[in-house]
Structure 1
């Protein structure tokens, strides 16, 4: 009798499964609290999933920021922390990793991405200048506005349509940029704020051709490009998969080329770099770097630690290298796609194509009877938690905020509920549980009512706003 091998079994069944490129070495127990406990917890949290206590959450898909599982090498690196106030060797390891994988010359560490956004905004934006970007991100836009900048959305129109299958919905519309330059003048544009895998559009990527052409346009007008590199490894995977000429290039090589078309970048290392805290800002211009490393001392810490412990910088340096491994990023996006396929098969409306870090449920189509002013995406996040203890988050009118001049809500075209998958944390079985719970909520959608906002903080209201059910 011939013994079966994985190859012959694959031929026999006509399919080949994939598996995560890691094995579990340590576990953290999970517990689903009762329905009555969930109802009480959600009411106490003002129907805002950000205000839930984590012990009341079963599967936590609130964010992929700082929620990854670190590797054995990263934990080992934590034991090599050089906690010197100045000149920690871990900073130089981190500096080398960023220079190697992202290609930027001068590096300033920060406690997380928004620290880098603040420094960049304060040093490069003059009051009244415009900051074109491929769709806003909440903290990025706020820091730009607090520095006196005016954000302008220059993403392609396809990005605002959740059903559009354009392979690079994160692309910048070069015509929009050119029109802004002609109308306002190049001197009135601070820089181009470019994000890889655009979060608010559903984790949609930017093509290499687009950034190459954008750089050529900016060079003609003397405008700089600064990259939000938070999820550039994921962006590189889509380039490798979809763009001609990149199928045989490694994730690391693609990231390096992409960054070469920009003048600098910043990162929340809590995402791609697989750490629980940390970030950085990197530029090629020495004079700007001098200003940044002087200012970082005021807000973050000395320029060789930027608000971080040495052990955190070491874990970040190791995680930077691990994030560029092709097997890792393929499995990471594969898990997201697995969940997306289940939901698509069941007719649940989600943003297509499936992005890199999350599934974005189209709450407008999910709850067509709930007007946007009654917060359908926030409602969906609340209902999902009530059903199964799964925590997700809103990315719609609540996240968009208010117009400072008129006081009216911004009403974005995309009203989304985000199911964000932490890296190396959950299994395929967890994704099955998530999909089944969302199906139950979807089947009961017609009986669901919206919410009213009863407390609104001044800044980034989605973090702390409170709601109550209508009716």
Structure 2
């Protein structure tokens, strides 16, 4: 097993239970409003929360902060070309900036955008531009116990039927999220990528891959898809993206950086338009909301992300957490994905009715019990969607150790031991855009 040596340490502390309960009340039972110092093990997200390598820190020292024509941008563009196969790159401050740039160009009023499963900001950006975001997961994806090597795939026949119902001209883009974050981090097969490419050709639609976790996806392809067992991970990562017309990327995931993202496209006209929109919303096209040092760090991180040693350690740690939770009797979504373990809140808290948000209730109880912060990805985060009540425990990259994993397992098991006394939550206030309500809504115990 490949491991890392710590070069920097950050002290953390577990607040007394009484203080944790007070912090939870003050936060309106929404863990997004907890302070970082209130949290002992923070699994809210793996986005930008990981630990960078010494090579990335070294690259930051050499960052070029030129407003235009930065050498750091050239290094980032070269890394995107080498690792992902796209030469036309528009940097942004993070993934949602990339979504704003690209979907603001592709999506208009009355359009329909199919996706294997939209994540929260993707759904919101499509809707904000007047489009209808439609989830098209494969059969069994919403069943935490269903078997399947690639439960993150897009159901191409569902999209075909959708195109017949709404008129194909109303579908400007088909999006494939890789891995499928909203569906428990499940991977997408290369065969499904190829099928989606063919479908996009049929519908004359732009094929977009949300590539935030493309490296982790390549790891699963090599493990599970016929014909890839002996292929280098970097080669697989490159191939699976080769069929797309465009990428949106948060470098805070498989870019192994703390900030940043980009849009990458093949079409020269779309590239020119993306640069103009980026100037308006992000910054000049050779920095796009990022400092030069951050672009330099991401350029190194993209290359590190497709190495054998890194991916074995990364996915292996997530698997170990899943195995330990399962052995402790905590219901989880299987198979375990690449960046997070997803808890099945409906089975964990069977006495909490669906209207009382069992997922968000479990999130709050994990914090109350052991200072562990996760995030709900069920009916609270996706109102009106027919999906399982999941709680995501996302592991920051190269950050936590086995002792932290054991604490998470002990915390979850302790919550289950006292679950009969847990009643659920109700919403007190929420923002107008309900697609983003889980970031800022306030709740209270029923």
TM-score where L is the length of structure 1: 0.93
Question: Which residue of 1 is the match for residue 191 of structure 2?
Answer: 209
The one of 316, 319, 337 aligned to 1:355: 337
CA distance in structure 2 between the aligned counterparts of 1:445 and 1:19, rounded to whole angstroms? 38
Assess if the C-alpha contact under 8 Å between 1:375 and 1:452 holds in 2: yes
State the Cα distance separating 1:226 from its structure 2 match: 0.3
State the Cα distance separating 1:411 from its structure 2 match: 4.3
Deviates more, 1:156-165 or 1:421-430: 156-165
State the Cα distance separating 1:327 from its structure 2 match: 1.1
Counterparts of 1:315-326 in structure 2, within 5 Å, are 315-326=297-308
Question: Which residue of 2 is the match for residue 398 of structure 1?
Answer: 380
Assess if the C-alpha contact under 8 Å between 1:277 and 1:312 holds in 2: yes
Which digits, 9 at most, give the CA deviation of each residue in 1:226-253, with x for residues without a partner?
0000001011110000001111112211
State the Cα distance separating 1:135 from its structure 2 match: 1.1
Assess if the C-alpha contact under 8 Å between 2:149 and 2:224 holds in 1: yes
Assess if the C-alpha contact under 8 Å between 1:57 and 1:389 holds in 2: yes
Question: Which residue of 1 is the match for residue 389 of structure 2?
Answer: 415
State the Cα distance separating 1:293 from its structure 2 match: 0.2
Assess if the C-alpha contact under 8 Å between 2:118 and 2:177 holds in 1: no
Structure 2 gaps, min length 5: none
CA distance in structure 2 between the aligned counterparts of 1:198 and 1:365, rounded to whole angstroms? 22
Question: Which residue of 1 is the match for residue 443 of structure 2?
Answer: 467
CA distance in structure 1 between the aligned counterparts of 2:360 and 2:2, rounded to whole angstroms? 33
The one of 146, 159, 183 aligned to 2:128: 146
CA distance in structure 1 between the aligned counterparts of 2:206 and 2:256, rounded to whole angstroms? 29
Assess if the C-alpha contact under 8 Å between 1:372 and 1:411 holds in 2: no
Is 1:442 aligned to 2:424, yes or no?
A: no
Counterparts of 1:234-273 in structure 2, within 5 Å, are 234-273=216-255
Assess if the C-alpha contact under 8 Å between 2:178 and 2:211 holds in 1: yes
State the Cα distance separating 1:467 from its structure 2 match: 1.0
Counterparts of 1:18-29 in structure 2, within 5 Å, are 18-20=1-3, 22-29=4-11
Question: Which residue of 1 is the match for residue 165 of structure 2?
Answer: 183
CA distance in structure 2 between the aligned counterparts of 1:235 and 1:176, rounded to whole angstroms? 23
Which digits, 9 at most, give the CA deviation of each residue in 1:371-390, with x for residues without a partner?
11101111111111111111
Question: Which residue of 2 is the match for residue 6 of structure 1?
Answer: none
State the Cα distance separating 1:218 from its structure 2 match: 2.1
The one of 427, 431, 438 aligned to 1:453: 427
Tell me the secondary structure at the aligned position of residue 291 of structure 1. Answer: helix
Is 1:430 aligned to 2:404, yes or no?
A: yes
CA distance in structure 2 between the aligned counterparts of 1:455 and 1:152, rounded to whole angstroms? 27
Tell me the secondary structure at the aligned position of residue 115 of structure 1. Answer: helix
Question: Which residue of 2 is the match for residue 12 of structure 1?
Answer: none
CA distance in structure 2 between the aligned counterparts of 1:82 and 1:136, rounded to whole angstroms? 35
CA distance in structure 2 between the aligned counterparts of 1:133 and 1:25, rounded to whole angstroms? 41
The one of 129, 141, 154 aligned to 2:111: 129
Count of aligned pairs between the two proteins: 444
CA distance in structure 2 between the aligned counterparts of 1:330 and 1:248, rounded to whole angstroms? 15
Tell me the secondary structure at the aligned position of residue 381 of structure 2. Answer: helix
Counterparts of 1:76-91 in structure 2, within 5 Å, are 76-91=58-73
State the Cα distance separating 1:106 from its structure 2 match: 0.6
Assess if the C-alpha contact under 8 Å between 2:331 and 2:344 holds in 1: yes
Which digits, 9 at most, give the CA deviation of each residue in 1:53-93, with x for residues without a partner?
01111111110011000000111111111111111100000
State the Cα distance separating 1:413 from its structure 2 match: 2.2
RMSD (Å), alpha carbons: 1.0
Assess if the C-alpha contact under 8 Å between 1:109 and 1:304 holds in 2: yes
Assess if the C-alpha contact under 8 Å between 1:42 and 1:49 holds in 2: yes
Is 1:170 aligned to 2:170, yes or no?
A: no
Which digits, 9 at most, give the CA deviation of each residue in 1:133-177, with x for residues without a partner?
001210001101111111111111211111112110011112111
Is 1:72 aligned to 2:54, yes or no?
A: yes
Deviates more, 1:207-216 or 1:304-313: 207-216
Is 1:118 aligned to 2:100, yes or no?
A: yes
Tell me the secondary structure at the aligned position of residue 400 of structure 1. Answer: coil
CA distance in structure 1 between the aligned counterparts of 2:164 and 2:359, rounded to whole angstroms? 37
State the Cα distance separating 1:344 from its structure 2 match: 1.1
Question: Which residue of 2 is the match for residue 331 of structure 1?
Answer: 313
Which digits, 9 at most, give the CA deviation of each residue in 1:242-291, with x for residues without a partner?
00111111221111111111111011110111111000000000000000
Which digits, 9 at most, give the CA deviation of each residue in 1:78-136, with x for residues without a partner?
11111111111000000010011111121000000000101111101121111010012
CA distance in structure 1 between the aligned counterparts of 2:365 and 2:6, rounded to whole angstroms? 31
State the Cα distance separating 1:345 from its structure 2 match: 1.4
CA distance in structure 2 between the aligned counterparts of 1:368 and 1:411, rounded to whole angstroms? 20
Question: Which residue of 1 is the match for residue 16 of structure 2?
Answer: 34
The one of 291, 307, 321 aligned to 1:309: 291
